[in-house]
């Protein structure tokens, strides 16, 4: 799986949009970009994924650059409950093989009241 | 979304004893399950990949005789930490992929192991 690079920490004011960047310059053509988050002492929670088009769901939006070498996760209206470590991961979809997730160090997002 | 449970959520054991952690997929069948370990203030590190009915595949540096993995059914995988030592104290997390082509890997809530 391709390696990702994220800033170690970010702060965001409550109610504002949180924009979390991720670089994945060695991503392969069949690899998807996934975002997970981990709230303290819990298992990771899936947020969103995408291949090359921008994606939006009830939790967040994912913006992927045209060359797919970087992406941005957007939490449109951050709340205190969004304080967590956010992981950007690239992988192929599961297909009965060892399509494991490789976690980097992630971005520790702190929402400020 | 699909639910993965772990039991126990917390366990304290004495050095030298063995501890079993269960990972269950509650509403789907999981052909493949993954076991991770997370030390304080660090990221998740994959320990092994568990395939139903076959031997687990361990990551480099993970002792297969110490961390025994059994995936006997499509809804249950177990991790047994044998002869536990204080350095095995960690947060153990399992995850599961539901079916081929599935885009989401579902994580359990984790098990906090403390070895005294």
Whether A32 sits inside 8 A of B4 (CB atoms) is no
Question: Is the distance from CB of A7 to CB of A107 less than 8 angstroms?
Answer: yes
Whether A96 sits inside 8 A of B31 (CB atoms) is yes
Q: How confident is the model at residue A3 (pLDDT cuts 50, 70, 90)?
A: confident
Question: Is the distance from CB of B22 to CB of B73 less than 8 angstroms?
Answer: no
Q: How many helices (H) and strands (E) does chain B have?
A: 0, 11
> CB contacts < 8 Å between A and B, how many?
66
> Does residue B65 surpass a pLDDT of 80?
yes
> Does residue B2 surpass a pLDDT of 80?
no
Residue B37 has what pLDDT? 97
Residue B52 has what pLDDT? 81
Token code pair at residue B30: 């999981």
Q: Which residue of A has its CA nearest to B10?
A: A41
Whether A106 sits inside 8 A of B93 (CB atoms) is no
Rounded CA gap, B24 and A53, in Å? 34
- Residue in this structure with the two tokens 């789907």, named with its chain if needed: B28
Q: How confident is the model at residue B32 (pLDDT cuts 50, 70, 90)?
A: confident
- For A6-55, write each residue's pLDDT tens digit: 999 999 999 999 999 999 999 988 888 999 999 988 999 999 999 998 99
- Residue in this structure with the two tokens 């126990």, named with its chain if needed: B8
The whole-angstrom distance between B78's CA and the closest CA on chain A is 17
Tell me whether the omega of the peptide bond preceding residue B9 falls within 30 degrees of 0, making it cis.
no
Average pLDDT over residues B24-38: 90
Rounded CA gap, B80 and B4, in Å? 18
Interface of B with A (CB under 8 A): 1, 4, 6, 31-32, 34, 36, 43-46, 49, 57, 91, 93, 95, 97-110, 112
């Amino acid at each position: 799986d391709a390696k990702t690079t994220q800033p170690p920490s970010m702060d965001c004011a409550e109610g504002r949009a949180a924009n979390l960047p991720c670089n994945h310059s060695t991503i392969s053509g069949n690899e998807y970009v996934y975002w997970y988050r981990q709230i303290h002492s819990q298992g990771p929670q899936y947020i969103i994924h995408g291949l090359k088009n921008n994606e939006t769901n009830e939790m967040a939006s994912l913006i992927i650059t045209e060359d797919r070498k970087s992406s941005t996760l957007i939490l449109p209206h951050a709340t205190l409950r969004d304080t967590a470590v956010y992981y950007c991961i690239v992988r192929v979809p599961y297909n009965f093989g060892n399509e494991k997730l490789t976690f980097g160090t992630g971005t520790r997002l702190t929402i400020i009241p | 979304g699909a639910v993965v449970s772990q039991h126990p959520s917390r366990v304290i054991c004495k050095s030298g004893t063995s501890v079993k952690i269960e990972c269950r997929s509650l509403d789907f069948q999981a052909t493949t399950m993954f076991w991770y370990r997370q030390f304080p203030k660090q990221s998740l590190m994959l320990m092994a990949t568990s395939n139903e009915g076959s031997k687990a595949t361990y990551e480099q540096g993970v002792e297969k005789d110490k961390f025994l993995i059994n995936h006997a059914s499509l809804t249950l995988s177990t991790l047994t930490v044998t002869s536990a030592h204080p350095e095995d104290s960690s947060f153990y997390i399992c995850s599961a992929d539901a079916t081929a082509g599935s885009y989401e890997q579902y994580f359990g809530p984790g098990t906090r192991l403390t070895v005294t």
